[in-house]
Each structure stands twice: as structure tokens, then as C-alpha cells.
Structure 1
Amino acid sequence: MRVAPDLFEPELRGKFRDEVFATMALCANLRFELRTAHPRTYQEFVRIIAEDQTEYLAWRASAATILRKLGRGHEASGRGPQWPLGNVVLVA
């Protein structure tokens, strides 16, 4: 699947990016290969969520929203996935 615009364009922020990653987290059995013209932005996004508990919780709120939309709200509690997501890789 191709996502446009580039998820890591400087103009793209917050919720949309969070929701795309939440969707990828829900599909742990699939592998996602991301391409971006902004690899440093990708690395910073992943680092912040992996290291900052507040940012991780904000991302989890986006994931919970998607779960509720899918009728899977009961899955919104618990530990959640480990960051960085193991099924998401940046490719050249």
C-alpha cells in the first residue's frame, strides 16, 4: 500500500501520522516498509515515542480511537506494543 503524502513531510503533523502507525501496530502480522524523503524526521518520531512516556501515551490515545472505530475498543487497554514497532522498517 502506498501512503501519500510522505508521512514525514515537515508540513504533516500529529494525528494522521499517529493513526497510520496505530493501524500498522494493529496489523502486527504484516510487515510495513516505509520510504520517505525525510528519514531523520522518521527516526526522531520513533525515538520520541520510544523514549518519552507522555508521547507514547498520546500515541496510544490515537490507537484507542482507531480500535473504537473498528469495534475493538476492548483491546484499547493493556500494555500496548513495544516501540519501535517490530513490523515497521524504513527502507532506502
Structure 2
Amino acid sequence: MPEAAEPIVWSCRDILAPFGWATGAIVRVAPDLFEPEVRTKIRDEVFATMALCPQHRFELRTAYPRAYHDYVRVIAEDRGEYLARAAAGIILRKLGRAHEATGSGRNGRSRT
């Protein structure tokens, strides 16, 4: 049986780092994203990066399971989905892939 790869510990300081890792990386997200002092914007960008990197397996650990469940519940709703797409647009722009970040916003207007 092959030995499991050692996880990459991602501090999330370099929000674009996962885009440069080899396919199939196991990534342990080092900060507890659900600590009360973590800003929602940071959390949204980390989740957007994870969504845009389906080639990796991300591991989240938290001492705040209630906050985690509340966050996931919100992003599963329509409003949350819109907000998650907006965060994904920010990440795509940082990658120089802004053309992939266009689409209809809340008012049906194109976002760029």
C-alpha cells in the first residue's frame, strides 16, 4: 500500500499558493477559520480558493463547530452562493484570470 503524502500546511497568507501545488495535494488549513477574530472576508477568500482548487483535498479543523456549520449553511443558500462567487471573482482577478470572473450579479448586471 502506498504511503500517504505528508499534508501541506497552508497558513492562508498567500491566498494563491494552492494554485501552484502539484495535483492531489493534501492541504491542512493552519488557522482556525472560525475563530471569532477571523474576518469574514478572509474566510470567504479561503473558501473561494478551495473551491477553485478541486484538485486538492483541504482539511479544516476548528474549535468552533457551531460557527463552521452556520457559515456552511449560509453559503449553501442563494445569497451565500452569490457572495461566494464574488469572493471567487476576487481570487480569479488576483490570478490574472478576470475574464473568468464575469457573470450576472444580483441585479442582472455584468460583473468584471
Q: Same fold (TM over 0.5)?
A: yes
- Which of structures 1 and 2 has the larger relative contact order (alpha carbons within 8 angstroms, sep 6+)? 1
Shift of 1:46: 0.6
TM-score by length of 1: 0.74
Residues 34-73 of structure 1: matches in 2 within 5 Å? 34-51=60-77, 53-73=78-98
Unaligned runs of 5+ in 1: 79-92
Q: Report the CA distance shift for 1:2/1:70 in structure 2 as closer, same or farther (over 3 A).
A: closer
* Bigger helix share: 1
Supply the AA of the counterpart residue of 1:60: R
Retained in 1: the 8 A contact 2:32–2:60?
A: no
Q: Percent identity?
A: 65
Are 1:14 and 2:40 an aligned pair?
A: yes
Aligned alpha-carbon RMSD (Å): 1.5
Are 1:74 and 2:99 an aligned pair?
A: yes
- Residue-pair matches, total: 77
Q: Which residue of 2 aligns with 1:88?
A: none
Shift of 1:66: 0.8
Query: SS at the partner of 1:45?
Result: helix
Shift of 1:5: 3.5
Unaligned runs of 5+ in 2: 1-8, 12-29, 104-112
* Bigger strand share: 2
Supply the AA of the counterpart residue of 2:95: L
Query: SS at the partner of 2:34?
Result: coil
Shift of 1:2: 3.8
TM-score by length of 2: 0.62
Larger Rg: 2
Query: SS at the partner of 1:9?
Result: coil
